[in-house]
Structure 1
Amino acid sequence: MAEIELKFQVPVHQRRAFEKAIAKKKAVPMQLWAKYYDSPEQQLAQHAIALRQRLEGQRWCQTLKAPGQHHFERFELELALGPDEPEQLDLSLYQEHKQAQTLLKQALELKKADLKNTGLELQFETDVQRLIVLEQIKDSAIELAFDQGEVRTPTAQSDIYEVEFELKHGDVSDLIDFVQPWVKRYQLWLDVRSKSQRGQMLKNQQDILPVQHQTPFSLDKHDSSSRALAKIVSNCLTHLLPNATAIADNHYQSGHVHQARVAIRRLRSALKIFGHWSEQVQPEWQAQLAELFRQLGSTRDRDALSESLMPRLAKAGSPLAELPASSESSDEIDALFRAPETVRLLLELLQFSQCTAHEDDQSLKKQVRKQLAKMHRQICQDAVQFEHLDSEQKHRTRKRVKRLRYSVEFIASLFEADAVKQYLKALKPAQESLGQFNDLVVAEALFQHEVQQNPQAWFVLGWIAAEQKHVLAEAQQHLLEFTRSKTFWSD
């Protein structure tokens, strides 16, 4: 009942070659016409649940899908309906399926024991010509499904052109190994949008995916350290991939870029702090993530400064109302997440998130305590000598504070919730003031280049210098206050 698949978009300039490759595989064609249902308030969509009736060749089936444990895994329950088109949606089919009942009742807020009179309505349809190729890789069966068609409402339609790789049975690593050559040859890029989500966006006249923020998750104290790290990486990918999809599709906002950077920073922190927990962590991942983060950086830095710094400068009477023009290359960042090397990295991380756990000599909590104590101690040492640190060392302190915060969030479920909350509350002022100082450093560099062409930039540089002095004093005070905070991981 779990569906494991990866979906990709095919670049326009690769489509002819891709179609020729599929034709050589002697693919089996199938016409798919599907009708998707939801409540008038779209309660199923709010829970990422899809409910459809679909004609597959000559037979109808009814399918319920919901989020699974991992981003590329979904709960799926498919029930055969026969050759005749159903007159209406029949939820009584789920009376014998407890998990399906639970999903529907929670999403639709049903109080009665039965699933009748739910008021579900047709939302949109999809009409797809699918070409299917079945491959046997080692002991795994993989289905390649190439879809062309459209999703439509009574007033709008959107084209579908995508390829899905589904693990019918076997090992996820075989699925990802099978996909990699296709990515390299045809420059396929990951797309986490389901047809249901695309249809919902079309119905709601939305062109852009919602910004994805980090989501809570739990570790089990009985998890091995390698399994815990795999769960952490999986959570970071759940944060990253929807934002990466929006950016790759070139339909994104500054929030997508910001959250993509946060997700990458969380990944880098997890691998740096806890990477020694697994022998399957590849040493090159850190450098690859750092480069991806760097390439996203200038765009996000400018967005952040425009939103936060420029209004303050205007209030202070600045003669300059805008940031200086960027001197960096204006490469479109959407290409970053379509690049084969980025897709390969994401697939490797997805594969790692499914890695087999090994047994530990020490408990997970004991290993976590050692790591947190070390990080806490480093920041306390920085705090007492902060005013004497040079610029690079202050920057290092800021990164240490962020890594500590992310690390605490990763392992919070292992400890008493209120104690963790109080610790993060004590850390937050230091993180915010150090972040403000970093913004001022970035702004200073921008306006130092501008002053040669525009003497009015001297006003801005003077204001920045005064503000830096104030924020640094504030940061030092917050760091010293943090050194007196109570830790939550002591025995």
Structure 2
Amino acid sequence: MQEIELKFQIPAEALETVRAELARLAPDQALPPPLILQAAYFDTPDRRLAQARSALRVRREGDEWVQTLKAAGSHTMVRVEDNRATQPPPAGQPLSPRLSLHAGGPAEAALRLSLAWQPEQDADGAQCGLVQLYATDMRRTRVQLAVGIGTLHEGVVELALDEGAILAGTGADQRSVPVRELEIELISGHPQAVIDAGRDWVQRFGLWLDTQTKAHRGDRLARWAVDGDARAALPESFSPRPARLPATGLASLSAEAAWRTGVEACLAHITAHISELAGLPEGDLAAAAPVAYQWRRGLRRLRALGRFVADTQAHGAPLNLSPVAHLSLQAACAHAAVLARQLGHWRDQDALAWIPRKLQQLGLPALPVPTPPAPADLSASPVAAARSTQATELCLQVLTALLAGGGDLTEVTEVTEVTDVAKVAQGPEAAPLSAHAWLSDGLRRWHAHCARTARRFDDLGPRRAHRLRRRARQLRDVLDLFAPLWPQAEGKHAHEARARHAHALAKALDALGALQDETVALARYRAVLAQDIRAQAACTWLQGRCKPLRKQAQRALRRWLTHSAPW
């Protein structure tokens, strides 16, 4: 069984309004009594299920007991779920799962893979080392809603309001976090109904998308409930990367399937870090900075992919996608540009903070790097940006693009072979575009453009040097995005050539980045010279560093130019 659903966090101040709206939607405007859900979650001490993005729970649902295995689906909206009726534990006995309930099908395969479970010798999994790590105590209120009546995207969704807490630890070490979530699950109809319903509730009540499961949050809470040494020894289960990629060579993969894989990878990266960032306290800037940095990287990757699609289309290699898919991806990239600019405002402050400290060490006035006027649409903090309507709307637009891009939502990473695409291409003479041709043609063109500009680096002013850096970074982002798809069968030589090229490009980008940071700092100090004479010392010092930094960047670019494009 596969769920198609989205989950949203509810601000504390909006909870009463959300309850009232659910009551208004209920039959006779009267909500049914909430369902009491009390669950215990199990994993191995070294978190093998969490690392596989799976969760195993035993839950009391009113008068019934249900054991559930949840595993990562192929998409933000999709999760594998196997529910099995079970019995309450004998009096005085602790809860324990019985893996035999999940025998057969994808659930058994997932447990065999993650736990090395061997049901032939260990039917119930007693030897797998499962222990209870955390628990949940919830009240669930449910209402069904028809969405998009009379349209192509008509559907019925269930709105489930979960209120309660996640609990971990015992006695004085027990910790808890509150839960205020709205899950929107497809009951029947088109999956776009889930997105449309989510967009409506986000805009009206300020909800934000959250792809972290209760299991993920419970695992993190359980880590904090143990001592520091034990916590440090636990493997990290948080990963922004998608669970699986098509196991095929580029020669047999269609360009549309490669596009879908790239979009999914961007979405997985972005939603993972939005969810992590939005769950932090507003004032915890130290914890927010590295997560915001990774979120910004995901936004850059999405924008690079959007530009790559537009560029290949302009040069005669259009993808066989619907107009809605193209427009939704463009809208998502526009939101990504705004959010990246906001995150860049905070990133610049952090990246330039070393300069006044260095000035002080040199005995010069330690004047902080002047801060430019904040963008008019700047959020209060990176955490607020992650919780913003715009951040969630970006994700909903990407999901819409994936839906409109074709394919079965519950198998969105299933490979579309070139021969399959040929069957649906427009006209009997239409030639399908392979992923290898699409990627190689576009990457060669981008590489050639960057190489031409790099050879004239001596003649580039600051703006054109920064433009080169942006284009080279986009090249790197697209290369990284599709790196798992390059066939391993090309041999060791081709693999090493790609690795050498990637390393040289990274070094060139590092050198260009250092030059750009100090160029920005110099411009900001110059802008305040008339108001603060102390800026003169900083300007003189930075100006003296400009020539050596340009030489370093030039050498790094020359080394990169010695590596031919390996694709």
TM-score, normalized by length of structure 1? 0.90
**Which residue of the other structure, out of 496, 508, 511, is the alignment partner of 1:433?**
511
* One-letter code aligned to 1:19: R
Aligned to 1:300: 347
Taking structure 1 as reference, are residues 94 and 468 closer, same or farther at Cα in structure 2, changes over 3 Å only? farther
Letter in 2 for 1:328: A
Rate the CA distance shift 1:296–1:212 in 2: closer, same or farther, 3 A: farther
Aligned counterparts, 1:346-361, within 5 A? 346-354=395-403, 355-356=405-406, 359=425, 361=432
Offset of residue 43 of structure 1: 3.0
How far apart in 2 are the matches of 1:235 and 1:409? Answer: 11
- Cα 1:424–1:316 change in 2 (3 A) is farther
Aligned partner of 2:254 in structure 1 is 224
Q: Pick closer, same or farther for the CA change 1:464–1:313 going to 2, 3 Å.
A: same
Matches for 1:249-264 after TM superposition, within 5 Å: 249-251=279-281, 252-264=287-299
Corresponding residue of 2:428: none
Matched, 1:142 2:142: no
Other structure's SS at 2:127 match: coil
Whether the 8 Å CA contact 2:6–2:183 is kept in 1: the answer is yes
Match of 1:81 in 2: 86
1:317/1:225 CA distance change after superposition, 3 Å: farther
1:29-428 aligned within 5 A: 29-82=34-87, 88-94=95-101, 96-97=103-104, 99-109=106-116, 113-114=121-122, 115-137=125-147, 140-153=155-168, 154=170, 155-205=174-224, 218=245, 220=248, 221=250, 222-251=252-281, 252-275=287-310, 276=313, 277=319, 278=321, 279=323, 280-282=325-327, 283-306=330-353, 309=355, 313=359, 316-320=362-366, 322-324=368-370, 327-328=373-374, 331-333=379-381, 334-354=383-403, 355-356=405-406, 359=425, 361-412=432-483, 413-415=485-487, 416=490, 417-428=495-506
Q: Secondary structure at the match of 1:167?
A: strand
Q: Distance in 1 between matches of 2:561 and 2:471?
A: 14
- More displaced stretch, 164-173 vs 297-306: 164-173
SS in 1 for 2:433: coil
- CA offsets, 1:145-180, max 9 Å, x none? 101111123322221111011124543222112222
Q: Distance in 2 between matches of 1:178 and 1:7?
A: 11
**TM-aligned CA deviation for residue 288 of structure 1:** 2.3
Which position in structure 2 is the counterpart of 1:478? Answer: 556
Q: 1:5 maps to what in 2?
A: 5
- In 2, the alpha carbon distance for the partners of 1:372 and 1:351 equals 26
Letter in 2 for 1:361: P
Q: In the aligned structure 2, how far is the partner of 1:442 from the partner of 1:188? A: 36
Residues 65, 309 of structure 1: alpha-carbon distance in 2 compared, 3 angstrom cutoff: farther
Is this contact kept in 2: 1:214–1:263, CA < 8 A?
no
Aligned equivalents of 1:133 and 1:462: distance in 2?
A: 66
| Structure-2 separation of matches of 1:231 and 1:118 | 34
Deviations 1:420-476 (A, max 9, x none): 222212322211111111111222233334544543433322222222211112212
The one-letter amino acid paired with 1:156 is R
**Greater displacement, 414-423 / 6-15:** 414-423
Q: Distance in 1 between matches of 2:371 and 2:557?
A: 35
SS in 1 for 2:57: strand
Task: Say whether the 8 Å CA contact 1:134–1:142 is kept in structure 2.
Answer: yes
Instruction: Work out the CA distance in 2 between the residues paired with 1:235 and 1:294.
Output: 22
1:211–1:80: structure 2 CA closer, same or farther, 3 Å change rule? Answer: closer
Structure 2: how far apart are the matches of 1:74 and 1:215?
Answer: 13
Residue type at the aligned position of 2:20: K
1:33-87 alpha-carbon deviations (Å, 9 max, x no partner)? 1111122333323333211100112110111112221233222111111466785
Alignment deviations for residues 183-237 of structure 1 (CA, whole Å, 9 cap, x no partner): 111121112221112222222228xx98755569645533432332222121112
Shift in Å, 1:128: 0.8
Alignment check: 8 A CA contact 2:257 2:435 kept: no
Deviates more, 1:379-388 or 1:193-202: 193-202
Q: Which runs of 5+ in 1 are unaligned?
A: none
Is the Cα–Cα contact under 8 Å of residues 257 and 296 in structure 1 kept in the other structure?
yes
The AA in structure 2 aligned to 1:242 is: A
Matches of 2:267 and 2:40, distance apart in 1: 30
In the TM superposition, residue 291 of structure 1 has moved relative to its aligned partner by 1.3
Secondary structure of the structure 2 residue equivalent to 1:328: coil
Write the distance in 2 (CA, Å) between the matches of 1:270 and 1:309.
34
Work out the CA distance in 1 between the residues paired with 2:553 and 2:278: 37
| SS in structure 2 of the partner of residue 281 of structure 1 | helix
Moved more, 280-289 or 293-302: 280-289
Asked if 2 retains the 8 angstrom alpha-carbon contact of 1:426 and 1:482, the reply is: yes
Q: CA deviation at 1:322?
A: 4.8
Q: Which moved more, 1:172-181 or 1:290-299?
A: 172-181
d(CA) in 2 for partners of 1:92 and 1:336?
42
Q: 1:266 to 1:316 in 2, by over 3 A?
A: farther
Is the Cα–Cα contact under 8 Å of residues 266 and 301 in structure 2 kept in the other structure?
A: yes
Partners in 1 of 2:560 and 2:192 — Cα distance?
Answer: 44
Deviation at 1:320, TM superposition (A): 1.4
- Match of 2:478, SS state, is helix
